[in-house]
A = this chain, B = another copy of it.
Amino acid sequence: MASPDAVFKALADPTRREILQLLRAGPMPSGEIAARFPSAWATISRHLAVLRDAELVTTERNGSSIVYELDTTVFQEAVEHLLNWVQPRGSNAKRRS
């Protein structure tokens, strides 16, 4: 399981969030992803490695290309994480004036 730290760090970069948005349309090989961005392929490849370490994407080799796919399970965890924070801890939590 990926650490919350890795997940939030991965989400902190706008390029990586764009990559995730892109993958919502479906799985895509590394080269095709890189072609959509102005950065060098190597740069995108490292962003993908960060996303993979955070377990936000999974990879599968398909012949000579490596296909990236969105993994929504970690998103679910992140969402639950945030939802827990939204609910104040004490059910009767009222601020004192």
| A interface residues with partner B (beta carbon < 8 Å) | 4-5, 8-9, 11-12, 14, 17, 20-21, 24-27, 69-70, 72, 75-76, 78-79, 82-83, 85-86, 88-90, 93, 95-96
* Cβ-closest chain B residue relative to A67: B95
In the complex, what's the smallest C-beta–C-beta distance from A3 to chain B, in angstroms? 9
Which B residues lie within 8 Å of A4 (CB)?
Answer: 17
Chain B residues near A11 (CB, 8 Å)?
8, 11-12
The 6 closest A-B pairs by CB, nearest first: A12-B12, A8-B12, A8-B11, A24-B89, A9-B12, A72-B86
- Contacts A24-B88, A82-B82 known; 19 new A-B pairs at CB < 8 A: A4-B17, A8-B8, A8-B12, A11-B11, A12-B12, A24-B85, A24-B89, A25-B89, A26-B88, A26-B90, A27-B95, A70-B85, A70-B88, A72-B85, A75-B82, A75-B85, A79-B79, A79-B82, A79-B83
